[in-house]
Amino acid sequence: MEKSKSRRLSLRRYSSTSSATPAKLLLGLGMLGMVAAACGSAAPAASSTSSTSGPTELTVGTLYAGSGAFASSSLPQLAGLKFWASQVNQSGGVFVKGLGKKLKVKLVTYNDQSDPTTAATLYNQLITQDHVNVLTADFGSVLTAPAITIAQENHQLLFDETGTGASFFQSPNPDLVLTALPTSAIWPTPLVEFLLAKHIKNIAVVYCANDFDQSQANTVQSLLKAGGVTPVYFQAVPTTTTDYASTIQSIKATNPGAVLELGYANNDIAFLNDLQAAGVKFPMTMTVFPTQLPALLVKDVGAKGLQYTYSYGVPPILQRKTVNFGLTFGQFAQAFNGNSTAPINFPSVAGYTTGLVIQDALAHATSLSQSAIRAGVSAISGSLKTLDGNFQVNSSGAQLGELLPLAQDLPPIGASGSNFQIVYPAAQATASAVYPAP
Protein backbone atom coordinates (compact mmCIF):
# COMPACT_ATOMS: atom_id res chain seq x y z
CA MET A 1 0.00 0.00 0.00
CA GLU A 2 1.44 3.40 -1.03
CA LYS A 3 2.07 5.48 2.03
CA SER A 4 2.26 9.00 0.50
CA LYS A 5 -0.06 11.42 2.23
CA SER A 6 -2.16 12.00 -0.88
CA ARG A 7 -3.15 8.32 -1.09
CA ARG A 8 -3.85 7.52 2.56
CA LEU A 9 -7.34 6.57 3.55
CA SER A 10 -9.11 8.89 5.94
CA LEU A 11 -11.50 6.70 7.87
CA ARG A 12 -13.30 6.90 11.17
CA ARG A 13 -13.05 4.10 13.67
CA TYR A 14 -15.44 3.10 16.36
CA SER A 15 -15.57 1.47 19.73
CA SER A 16 -17.96 -1.41 20.32
CA THR A 17 -19.38 0.62 23.17
CA SER A 18 -20.08 3.70 21.03
CA SER A 19 -23.68 4.62 20.22
CA ALA A 20 -22.74 6.76 17.21
CA THR A 21 -24.11 5.74 13.79
CA PRO A 22 -21.33 4.86 11.29
CA ALA A 23 -20.81 7.56 8.65
CA LYS A 24 -20.16 6.82 5.01
CA LEU A 25 -17.05 8.57 3.80
CA LEU A 26 -15.51 8.71 0.37
CA LEU A 27 -12.29 6.70 0.22
CA GLY A 28 -9.36 8.01 -1.77
CA LEU A 29 -8.72 4.71 -3.52
CA GLY A 30 -7.65 6.15 -6.86
CA MET A 31 -8.79 3.86 -9.63
CA LEU A 32 -11.00 1.88 -7.29
CA GLY A 33 -13.38 4.79 -6.71
CA MET A 34 -14.97 2.77 -3.94
CA VAL A 35 -17.15 4.03 -1.09
CA ALA A 36 -16.65 2.31 2.25
CA ALA A 37 -18.42 2.86 5.53
CA ALA A 38 -16.18 2.86 8.58
CA CYS A 39 -17.39 2.81 12.16
CA GLY A 40 -15.44 4.63 14.81
CA SER A 41 -14.63 7.42 17.13
CA ALA A 42 -13.54 10.68 15.56
CA ALA A 43 -10.15 10.49 17.23
CA PRO A 44 -7.04 9.48 15.26
CA ALA A 45 -5.58 6.02 15.72
CA ALA A 46 -4.99 5.75 19.43
CA SER A 47 -2.48 3.63 21.24
CA SER A 48 -3.83 0.90 23.50
CA THR A 49 -0.88 1.29 25.85
CA SER A 50 0.09 3.69 28.60
CA SER A 51 3.72 4.55 29.37
CA THR A 52 3.07 4.03 33.07
CA SER A 53 0.52 1.25 33.38
CA GLY A 54 0.92 -0.77 30.19
CA PRO A 55 -1.98 -1.60 27.84
CA THR A 56 -5.34 -0.09 28.75
CA GLU A 57 -7.48 -1.80 26.11
CA LEU A 58 -7.42 -4.60 23.57
CA THR A 59 -8.03 -3.46 20.01
CA VAL A 60 -9.60 -6.08 17.75
CA GLY A 61 -9.67 -5.16 14.06
CA THR A 62 -11.92 -6.73 11.46
CA LEU A 63 -13.74 -6.04 8.19
CA TYR A 64 -17.36 -6.53 7.26
CA ALA A 65 -19.31 -6.41 4.03
CA GLY A 66 -22.03 -3.81 4.47
CA SER A 67 -23.28 -4.45 0.95
CA GLY A 68 -22.67 -6.78 -1.97
CA ALA A 69 -22.71 -10.54 -2.40
CA PHE A 70 -21.35 -11.41 1.05
CA ALA A 71 -23.32 -8.95 3.20
CA SER A 72 -25.94 -11.53 4.20
CA SER A 73 -23.25 -13.64 5.89
CA SER A 74 -20.76 -10.96 6.87
CA LEU A 75 -23.11 -8.72 8.86
CA PRO A 76 -24.34 -11.49 11.21
CA GLN A 77 -20.74 -12.67 11.65
CA LEU A 78 -19.82 -9.16 12.77
CA ALA A 79 -22.90 -9.12 15.03
CA GLY A 80 -21.65 -12.29 16.71
CA LEU A 81 -18.20 -10.79 17.30
CA LYS A 82 -19.74 -7.58 18.67
CA PHE A 83 -21.94 -9.65 20.99
CA TRP A 84 -18.84 -11.38 22.36
CA ALA A 85 -17.10 -8.04 22.92
CA SER A 86 -20.15 -6.72 24.75
CA GLN A 87 -20.31 -9.82 26.94
CA VAL A 88 -16.65 -9.72 28.01
CA ASN A 89 -16.70 -5.96 28.56
CA GLN A 90 -19.65 -6.34 30.90
CA SER A 91 -17.45 -8.62 33.01
CA GLY A 92 -14.52 -6.23 32.99
CA GLY A 93 -12.81 -7.25 29.76
CA VAL A 94 -10.51 -10.00 28.52
CA PHE A 95 -7.95 -11.40 30.95
CA VAL A 96 -4.37 -11.51 29.60
CA LYS A 97 -2.21 -13.93 31.55
CA GLY A 98 1.08 -12.14 30.98
CA LEU A 99 -0.34 -8.81 32.13
CA GLY A 100 -2.21 -10.24 35.09
CA LYS A 101 -5.24 -8.07 34.37
CA LYS A 102 -8.29 -7.61 32.18
CA LEU A 103 -8.46 -5.30 29.18
CA LYS A 104 -11.65 -3.84 27.75
CA VAL A 105 -12.20 -4.82 24.09
CA LYS A 106 -12.41 -2.11 21.45
CA LEU A 107 -13.56 -3.14 17.97
CA VAL A 108 -12.12 -1.33 14.96
CA THR A 109 -14.08 -2.22 11.83
CA TYR A 110 -14.18 -1.12 8.20
CA ASN A 111 -16.62 -1.87 5.37
CA ASP A 112 -15.04 -3.68 2.42
CA GLN A 113 -18.35 -3.83 0.48
CA SER A 114 -17.69 -7.47 -0.51
CA ASP A 115 -14.74 -6.35 -2.65
CA PRO A 116 -11.42 -8.25 -2.18
CA THR A 117 -9.34 -5.33 -3.50
CA THR A 118 -10.89 -2.91 -1.02
CA ALA A 119 -10.48 -5.55 1.67
CA ALA A 120 -6.74 -5.78 0.96
CA THR A 121 -6.33 -2.03 1.46
CA LEU A 122 -8.31 -2.05 4.69
CA TYR A 123 -6.59 -5.10 6.20
CA ASN A 124 -3.32 -3.30 5.60
CA GLN A 125 -4.67 -0.21 7.32
CA LEU A 126 -5.75 -2.17 10.39
CA ILE A 127 -2.21 -3.53 10.77
CA THR A 128 0.03 -0.62 9.72
CA GLN A 129 -2.03 2.41 10.78
CA ASP A 130 -4.38 1.23 13.50
CA HIS A 131 -1.84 -1.24 14.93
CA VAL A 132 -4.59 -3.51 16.24
CA ASN A 133 -3.63 -6.09 18.85
CA VAL A 134 -5.80 -8.77 17.26
CA LEU A 135 -6.79 -9.14 13.60
CA THR A 136 -9.81 -11.13 12.44
CA ALA A 137 -11.02 -11.73 8.88
CA ASP A 138 -14.26 -10.95 7.10
CA PHE A 139 -16.64 -13.73 6.12
CA GLY A 140 -15.63 -16.53 3.78
CA SER A 141 -12.65 -17.50 1.67
CA VAL A 142 -12.98 -14.77 -0.97
CA LEU A 143 -12.68 -11.94 1.56
CA THR A 144 -10.21 -13.79 3.80
CA ALA A 145 -7.68 -14.52 1.04
CA PRO A 146 -6.15 -11.00 0.91
CA ALA A 147 -5.87 -10.94 4.71
CA ILE A 148 -3.72 -14.08 4.77
CA THR A 149 -1.07 -12.60 2.47
CA ILE A 150 -0.99 -9.23 4.23
CA ALA A 151 -0.89 -10.81 7.70
CA GLN A 152 2.08 -12.97 6.72
CA GLU A 153 3.95 -10.01 5.26
CA ASN A 154 3.50 -8.11 8.53
CA HIS A 155 3.93 -11.11 10.88
CA GLN A 156 0.45 -10.44 12.25
CA LEU A 157 -1.57 -13.34 13.59
CA LEU A 158 -4.87 -13.65 11.69
CA PHE A 159 -7.92 -15.19 13.31
CA ASP A 160 -9.70 -16.60 10.27
CA GLU A 161 -13.37 -16.87 11.19
CA THR A 162 -14.91 -18.67 8.21
CA GLY A 163 -12.38 -18.65 5.35
CA THR A 164 -12.02 -22.41 4.89
CA GLY A 165 -10.48 -22.74 1.39
CA ALA A 166 -8.05 -25.65 1.30
CA SER A 167 -5.26 -23.67 -0.39
CA PHE A 168 -4.89 -21.50 2.74
CA PHE A 169 -3.59 -24.44 4.75
CA GLN A 170 -1.07 -26.20 2.51
CA SER A 171 2.04 -25.48 4.59
CA PRO A 172 2.95 -24.49 8.17
CA ASN A 173 1.83 -20.95 8.91
CA PRO A 174 2.31 -19.45 12.39
CA ASP A 175 0.29 -16.39 11.38
CA LEU A 176 -3.05 -18.12 10.68
CA VAL A 177 -5.72 -19.70 12.90
CA LEU A 178 -9.06 -20.99 11.56
CA THR A 179 -11.56 -20.61 14.38
CA ALA A 180 -15.14 -21.61 13.61
CA LEU A 181 -15.14 -24.33 10.93
CA PRO A 182 -12.98 -27.17 9.64
CA THR A 183 -11.33 -26.60 6.27
CA SER A 184 -13.78 -26.97 3.40
CA ALA A 185 -11.73 -29.82 1.95
CA ILE A 186 -13.10 -32.12 4.66
CA TRP A 187 -16.66 -30.76 4.81
CA PRO A 188 -18.09 -33.27 2.31
CA THR A 189 -16.73 -36.40 3.98
CA PRO A 190 -20.00 -37.41 5.74
CA LEU A 191 -21.94 -36.36 2.63
CA VAL A 192 -20.00 -38.75 0.41
CA GLU A 193 -20.23 -41.50 3.01
CA PHE A 194 -24.02 -41.05 2.87
CA LEU A 195 -24.08 -41.22 -0.94
CA LEU A 196 -22.04 -44.42 -0.95
CA ALA A 197 -24.11 -45.97 1.85
CA LYS A 198 -27.26 -45.29 -0.19
CA HIS A 199 -25.59 -46.77 -3.30
CA ILE A 200 -26.34 -43.64 -5.30
CA LYS A 201 -24.25 -43.83 -8.45
CA ASN A 202 -25.43 -41.16 -10.90
CA ILE A 203 -24.10 -38.11 -9.07
CA ALA A 204 -23.90 -34.64 -10.61
CA VAL A 205 -21.72 -31.86 -9.17
CA VAL A 206 -21.80 -28.18 -10.14
CA TYR A 207 -19.53 -25.88 -8.15
CA CYS A 208 -18.35 -22.29 -8.17
CA ALA A 209 -14.81 -21.57 -9.30
CA ASN A 210 -13.42 -20.34 -6.00
CA ASP A 211 -11.24 -22.09 -3.46
CA PHE A 212 -14.05 -22.64 -0.94
CA ASP A 213 -16.31 -24.50 -3.36
CA GLN A 214 -13.65 -26.07 -5.54
CA SER A 215 -11.96 -27.71 -2.55
CA GLN A 216 -15.31 -29.28 -1.61
CA ALA A 217 -15.86 -30.47 -5.17
CA ASN A 218 -12.39 -32.00 -5.39
CA THR A 219 -12.99 -33.91 -2.17
CA VAL A 220 -16.35 -35.18 -3.41
CA GLN A 221 -14.80 -36.37 -6.66
CA SER A 222 -11.84 -38.00 -4.94
CA LEU A 223 -13.89 -39.83 -2.27
CA LEU A 224 -16.50 -40.96 -4.79
CA LYS A 225 -13.84 -42.42 -7.06
CA ALA A 226 -12.28 -44.19 -4.08
CA GLY A 227 -15.72 -45.73 -3.54
CA GLY A 228 -15.95 -46.84 -7.16
CA VAL A 229 -18.23 -44.02 -8.35
CA THR A 230 -17.42 -41.47 -11.05
CA PRO A 231 -19.65 -38.36 -11.19
CA VAL A 232 -21.80 -38.23 -14.33
CA TYR A 233 -21.53 -34.43 -14.32
CA PHE A 234 -18.71 -32.37 -12.81
CA GLN A 235 -18.62 -28.71 -13.86
CA ALA A 236 -17.34 -25.39 -12.51
CA VAL A 237 -19.22 -22.11 -13.00
CA PRO A 238 -18.24 -18.52 -12.11
CA THR A 239 -18.97 -17.46 -8.54
CA THR A 240 -21.06 -14.62 -9.98
CA THR A 241 -23.47 -17.11 -11.63
CA THR A 242 -27.15 -16.23 -11.11
CA ASP A 243 -28.69 -18.20 -14.01
CA TYR A 244 -28.59 -22.00 -13.75
CA ALA A 245 -31.35 -22.77 -16.27
CA SER A 246 -29.13 -24.34 -18.94
CA THR A 247 -26.97 -26.07 -16.31
CA ILE A 248 -30.06 -27.71 -14.81
CA GLN A 249 -31.14 -29.03 -18.20
CA SER A 250 -27.65 -30.45 -18.83
CA ILE A 251 -27.70 -32.15 -15.43
CA LYS A 252 -31.21 -33.47 -16.01
CA ALA A 253 -30.02 -35.19 -19.18
CA THR A 254 -27.66 -37.36 -17.09
CA ASN A 255 -30.60 -38.79 -15.08
CA PRO A 256 -28.85 -38.11 -11.75
CA GLY A 257 -29.64 -39.86 -8.50
CA ALA A 258 -28.17 -36.91 -6.59
CA VAL A 259 -27.25 -33.33 -7.50
CA LEU A 260 -24.75 -31.32 -5.45
CA GLU A 261 -24.65 -27.56 -6.04
CA LEU A 262 -21.67 -26.09 -4.20
CA GLY A 263 -21.74 -22.30 -4.03
CA TYR A 264 -22.33 -19.30 -1.81
CA ALA A 265 -25.79 -18.19 -0.65
CA ASN A 266 -26.55 -16.22 -3.83
CA ASN A 267 -25.67 -19.26 -5.94
CA ASP A 268 -27.84 -21.58 -3.85
CA ILE A 269 -30.79 -19.19 -4.09
CA ALA A 270 -30.46 -18.89 -7.86
CA PHE A 271 -30.06 -22.65 -8.34
CA LEU A 272 -33.04 -23.61 -6.17
CA ASN A 273 -35.26 -20.96 -7.75
CA ASP A 274 -34.31 -22.09 -11.25
CA LEU A 275 -35.17 -25.68 -10.29
CA GLN A 276 -38.66 -24.54 -9.31
CA ALA A 277 -39.05 -22.40 -12.43
CA ALA A 278 -38.12 -25.37 -14.62
CA GLY A 279 -40.40 -27.74 -12.71
CA VAL A 280 -37.45 -30.08 -12.15
CA LYS A 281 -37.11 -32.24 -9.04
CA PHE A 282 -34.16 -34.54 -8.51
CA PRO A 283 -34.16 -37.55 -6.13
CA MET A 284 -31.63 -35.67 -4.00
CA THR A 285 -30.57 -32.03 -4.12
CA MET A 286 -27.88 -30.70 -1.84
CA THR A 287 -26.77 -27.06 -1.41
CA VAL A 288 -24.44 -25.39 1.10
CA PHE A 289 -26.14 -22.40 2.74
CA PRO A 290 -29.77 -23.24 3.70
CA THR A 291 -28.64 -24.35 7.17
CA GLN A 292 -26.22 -21.43 7.57
CA LEU A 293 -28.72 -18.73 6.59
CA PRO A 294 -32.14 -20.35 7.02
CA ALA A 295 -34.16 -17.13 7.25
CA LEU A 296 -32.61 -15.76 4.05
CA LEU A 297 -33.11 -18.98 2.10
CA VAL A 298 -36.72 -19.34 3.22
CA LYS A 299 -37.40 -15.74 2.25
CA ASP A 300 -35.76 -15.92 -1.18
CA VAL A 301 -36.52 -19.53 -2.14
CA GLY A 302 -39.64 -20.32 -0.12
CA ALA A 303 -40.40 -23.31 2.07
CA LYS A 304 -41.56 -25.34 -0.92
CA GLY A 305 -38.26 -24.87 -2.72
CA LEU A 306 -36.34 -26.22 0.28
CA GLN A 307 -38.51 -29.28 0.93
CA TYR A 308 -36.45 -32.47 1.18
CA THR A 309 -33.22 -30.72 0.13
CA TYR A 310 -29.98 -31.48 1.97
CA SER A 311 -27.28 -29.27 3.44
CA TYR A 312 -24.41 -29.36 5.95
CA GLY A 313 -25.39 -29.60 9.62
CA VAL A 314 -24.12 -26.51 11.45
CA PRO A 315 -25.38 -24.52 14.43
CA PRO A 316 -28.18 -23.70 15.10
CA ILE A 317 -29.31 -26.94 13.38
CA LEU A 318 -26.46 -28.78 15.11
CA GLN A 319 -26.29 -28.18 18.85
CA ARG A 320 -23.21 -29.45 20.67
CA LYS A 321 -23.76 -31.18 24.00
CA THR A 322 -20.34 -30.58 25.51
CA VAL A 323 -19.29 -26.97 26.15
CA ASN A 324 -16.50 -26.04 28.58
CA PHE A 325 -16.03 -22.37 27.66
CA GLY A 326 -18.54 -19.66 26.88
CA LEU A 327 -22.29 -19.99 26.53
CA THR A 328 -24.19 -23.07 25.47
CA PHE A 329 -26.30 -22.57 22.36
CA GLY A 330 -29.46 -22.14 24.42
CA GLN A 331 -27.80 -19.51 26.59
CA PHE A 332 -26.35 -17.80 23.52
CA ALA A 333 -29.72 -17.71 21.75
CA GLN A 334 -31.43 -16.16 24.76
CA ALA A 335 -28.74 -13.54 25.37
CA PHE A 336 -28.16 -12.74 21.68
CA ASN A 337 -31.87 -12.18 21.05
CA GLY A 338 -31.91 -9.71 23.91
CA ASN A 339 -28.91 -7.75 22.59
CA SER A 340 -29.20 -7.79 18.81
CA THR A 341 -31.80 -7.33 16.09
CA ALA A 342 -29.84 -9.67 13.80
CA PRO A 343 -31.20 -13.23 13.40
CA ILE A 344 -29.32 -16.09 14.99
CA ASN A 345 -27.65 -18.12 12.28
CA PHE A 346 -24.33 -19.85 11.74
CA PRO A 347 -22.31 -16.70 10.90
CA SER A 348 -23.42 -15.10 14.18
CA VAL A 349 -22.31 -18.25 16.02
CA ALA A 350 -19.00 -18.13 14.12
CA GLY A 351 -18.38 -14.52 15.15
CA TYR A 352 -19.08 -15.33 18.80
CA THR A 353 -16.91 -18.47 18.62
CA THR A 354 -14.00 -16.47 17.22
CA GLY A 355 -14.24 -14.14 20.19
CA LEU A 356 -14.14 -17.11 22.57
CA VAL A 357 -10.99 -18.48 20.88
CA ILE A 358 -9.31 -15.08 21.17
CA GLN A 359 -10.38 -14.79 24.81
CA ASP A 360 -9.13 -18.23 25.85
CA ALA A 361 -5.87 -17.81 23.92
CA LEU A 362 -5.16 -14.51 25.71
CA ALA A 363 -5.86 -16.18 29.06
CA HIS A 364 -2.83 -18.37 28.23
CA ALA A 365 -0.67 -15.72 26.51
CA THR A 366 2.43 -14.35 28.25
CA SER A 367 2.10 -10.98 26.50
CA LEU A 368 0.27 -9.25 23.67
CA SER A 369 2.97 -10.02 21.12
CA GLN A 370 1.72 -11.93 18.10
CA SER A 371 3.95 -14.91 18.86
CA ALA A 372 2.71 -15.03 22.47
CA ILE A 373 -0.92 -14.95 21.34
CA ARG A 374 -0.19 -17.78 18.87
CA ALA A 375 1.41 -19.76 21.69
CA GLY A 376 -1.79 -19.19 23.65
CA VAL A 377 -3.74 -20.67 20.73
CA SER A 378 -1.51 -23.75 20.81
CA ALA A 379 -2.07 -24.08 24.55
CA ILE A 380 -5.86 -24.34 24.15
CA SER A 381 -5.92 -26.40 20.95
CA GLY A 382 -7.54 -29.75 21.60
CA SER A 383 -9.05 -28.79 24.96
CA LEU A 384 -11.40 -25.90 24.12
CA LYS A 385 -15.02 -26.91 23.50
CA THR A 386 -17.50 -24.18 22.57
CA LEU A 387 -21.08 -24.17 21.28
CA ASP A 388 -19.48 -24.56 17.83
CA GLY A 389 -17.65 -27.78 18.75
CA ASN A 390 -14.07 -28.84 19.40
CA PHE A 391 -11.35 -26.29 18.71
CA GLN A 392 -8.19 -27.92 17.42
CA VAL A 393 -5.68 -26.55 14.92
CA ASN A 394 -2.54 -27.89 13.29
CA SER A 395 0.70 -26.13 12.32
CA SER A 396 -0.86 -24.68 9.16
CA GLY A 397 -3.66 -23.11 11.17
CA ALA A 398 -6.27 -25.55 9.86
CA GLN A 399 -9.22 -26.37 12.10
CA LEU A 400 -9.47 -30.11 12.74
CA GLY A 401 -12.63 -30.10 14.86
CA GLU A 402 -15.65 -32.30 14.32
CA LEU A 403 -16.85 -33.06 10.80
CA LEU A 404 -20.08 -31.48 9.59
CA PRO A 405 -22.97 -33.96 9.54
CA LEU A 406 -25.61 -34.04 6.80
CA ALA A 407 -29.02 -32.42 7.31
CA GLN A 408 -32.30 -32.61 5.37
CA ASP A 409 -35.40 -30.39 5.37
CA LEU A 410 -38.14 -32.74 6.53
CA PRO A 411 -41.87 -32.57 7.45
CA PRO A 412 -43.50 -31.07 9.37
CA ILE A 413 -42.65 -27.94 7.42
CA GLY A 414 -44.35 -24.68 8.27
CA ALA A 415 -45.92 -22.50 5.62
CA SER A 416 -43.07 -20.04 5.88
CA GLY A 417 -40.27 -22.02 7.46
CA SER A 418 -37.99 -25.01 7.19
CA ASN A 419 -37.28 -28.00 9.39
CA PHE A 420 -33.74 -29.20 8.82
CA GLN A 421 -32.80 -32.27 10.83
CA ILE A 422 -29.51 -34.15 11.10
CA VAL A 423 -29.88 -37.38 9.09
CA TYR A 424 -26.28 -38.68 8.88
CA PRO A 425 -24.21 -40.10 10.50
CA ALA A 426 -26.49 -42.23 12.65
CA ALA A 427 -24.73 -41.29 15.90
CA GLN A 428 -25.74 -37.64 15.43
CA ALA A 429 -29.02 -38.14 13.58
CA THR A 430 -32.23 -36.59 14.88
CA ALA A 431 -34.34 -38.02 12.01
CA SER A 432 -34.16 -40.54 9.17
CA ALA A 433 -33.33 -39.39 5.64
CA VAL A 434 -36.02 -39.47 3.00
CA TYR A 435 -34.59 -40.73 -0.31
CA PRO A 436 -35.64 -40.32 -3.03
CA ALA A 437 -37.48 -37.06 -2.46
CA PRO A 438 -41.27 -37.44 -2.91
Say how far apart CA 64 and CA 401 lie, in whole Å.
Answer: 25
Could you tell me the sign of the dihedral formed by the alpha carbons of 45, 51, 57, 60, in that order? positive
Picking from 121, 139, 127, 101, the residue whose alpha carbon sits closest to that of residue 45 is: 127
CB 380 within 8 A of CB 360: yes
CB 108 within 8 A of CB 127: no
Picking from 127, 145, 153, the residue whose alpha carbon sits closest to that of residue 61 is: 127
Look at residue 414 in the predicted model and tell me its pLDDT.
Answer: 58
Q: What pLDDT digit, counting tens, does each position of 329-388 carry? A: 999 999 998 776 677 899 999 999 999 999 999 999 999 999 999 999 999 999 999 999
Tell me how long the chain is.
Answer: 438
Domains of the chain in start order, with CATH, are 5-181+323-391 (3.40.50.2300), 189-313+410-424 (3.40.50.2300)
Evaluate if residue 62 carries a pLDDT over 50. Answer: yes
Q: Between helices 140-153 and 211-226, what is the axis angle to 10°?
A: 110
Look at residue 415 in the predicted model and tell me its pLDDT.
Answer: 53
CB 199 within 8 A of CB 217: no
Summarize the confidence of residues 52-68 as an average pLDDT. Answer: 90
Evaluate if residue 52 carries a pLDDT over 60. Answer: no
Look at residue 111 in the predicted model and tell me its pLDDT.
Answer: 98
Beta strand segments in 124-268, E? 134-136, 158-160, 176-178, 203-208, 233-237, 258-262
Say how far apart CA 122 and CA 127 lie, in whole Å.
Answer: 9
Q: Give the mean pLDDT of the chain.
A: 88
Look at residue 321 in the predicted model and tell me its pLDDT.
Answer: 86
Look at residue 366 in the predicted model and tell me its pLDDT.
Answer: 97
Summarize the confidence of residues 188-211 as an average pLDDT. Answer: 96
Q: What pLDDT digit, counting tens, does each position of 15-46 carry? A: 333 333 333 333 333 333 333 333 333 333 34
**What type of residue is 381?**
S
The mean-pLDDT minimum among 7-11, 117-121, 156-160, 421-425 falls in 7-11
Look at residue 28 in the predicted model and tell me its pLDDT.
Answer: 35
pTM: 0.85
Say how far apart CA 245 and CA 270 lie, in whole Å.
Answer: 9
